[in-house]
């Protein structure tokens, strides 16, 4: 089997280092390049040395050179950086796996347009367990479609810059779709003051930021006399990295198209 050649964006960050480690340990993968921004103090350093596993691949800010020998770029950075990488992937015919969150509607459309030329997996959470939860939420929402209030609670580390998390928003979308609702019309993000009685169709979001929490998500269905909670807790970023590599294997024979992890896992 030919190994998939990966370039990793944001390779010196917390998620980037985990992705590099996952690629180096995967027999189906090889590390072709590691990227950082032009002001990074890690430029020129061995990407594996950052976590005690030297690999001979030096961190660069040259996106064109980094993609030259890559089959796929994995990007868990920021929207502004991902969109630049998206353009280069299009011009160089490189597949793209996007774990970045916080895109607006126009930026999501740009990703969809690019997928007409290259293959893209775009998902708010790459962990296999989280995507199993998405499926469970759809089933639960259809069963608990009357008499249950829905609340989404998420917690992440203090460094996360967007809220609610992309995963929490996707959970809300899954529930809303199953109930025949539009999340943009029924979501409320936090409550304060005299809010009045809770509307039956409302989906509430609560956000916690603190410490080194990797990522906790709970969807609460609260009814009369009972509560159902569906929870996923991440103890390590490795679950996201392993899901990204699974997405890379899925894209190996896809010349173009926009996919998510439900496609990758065959859950649609």
What does the DSSP assignment read for the chain? -PPEEEEETTTTSHHHHHHHHHHHH-TTEEEEEEE--TT-TTTTSBGGGGGT---SPBEES-HHHHHTT-SEEEE-S-HHHHHHHHHHHHHHT-EEEE------HHHHHHHHHHTTTSEEEE-S---HHHHHHHHHHHHHHHHT-SS-EEEEEEEE-TT--SSS-HHHHHHHHHHHHHTT--HHHHEEE---S---SPPTT-EEEEEEE-TT--EEEEEEEEETTEEEEEEEEES-THHHHHHHHHHHHHHTT-SSEEE-HHHHTT--
Tell me, yes or no, if 142 is annotated catalytic: no
Tell me, yes or no, if 156 is annotated catalytic: yes
**Residue among 37, 88, 160, 254 flagged as catalytic:** 160
Catalytic residues: 156, 160
């Amino acid at each position: 089997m030919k190994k998939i050649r990966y370039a990793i964006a944001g390779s010196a960050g917390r998620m980037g280092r985990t992705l590099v480690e996952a690629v180096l340990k995967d027999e189906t993968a090889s590390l072709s390049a590691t990227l950082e921004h032009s002001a990074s103090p890690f430029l020129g350093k061995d990407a594996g040395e950052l976590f005690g596993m030297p690999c001979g691949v030096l961190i660069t800010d040259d996106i064109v050179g980094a993609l030259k020998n890559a089959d796929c770029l994995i990007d868990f950075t920021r929207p502004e950086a991902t969109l630049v990488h998206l353009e280069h992937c299009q011009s160089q015919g490189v597949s793209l796996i996007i774990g970045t969150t916080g895109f607006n509607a126009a930026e999501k459309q740009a990703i969809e347009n690019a997928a007409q030329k290259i293959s893209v997996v775009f998902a708010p959470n790459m962990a296999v367990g989280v995507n199993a939860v998405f499926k469970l939420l759809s089933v639960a929402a259809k069963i608990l479609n009357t008499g249950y209030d829905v609340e989404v609670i998420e917690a992440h580390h203090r460094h996360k810059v967007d809220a609610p998390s992309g995963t929490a928003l996707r959970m809300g979308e899954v529930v809303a779709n199953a109930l025949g609702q539009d999340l943009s019309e029924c979501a409320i993000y936090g409550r304060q003051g005299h809010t009045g009685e809770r509307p039956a169709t409302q989906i509430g979001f609560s956000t916690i930021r603190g410490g080194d929490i990797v990522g906790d998500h709970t969807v609460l269905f609260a009814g009369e006399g009972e509560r159902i909670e569906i929870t996923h807790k991440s103890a390590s970023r490795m679950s996201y990295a392993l899901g990204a590599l699974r997405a890379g294997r899925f894209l190996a024979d896809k010349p173009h198209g926009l996919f998510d992890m439900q496609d990758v896992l065959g859950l649609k």
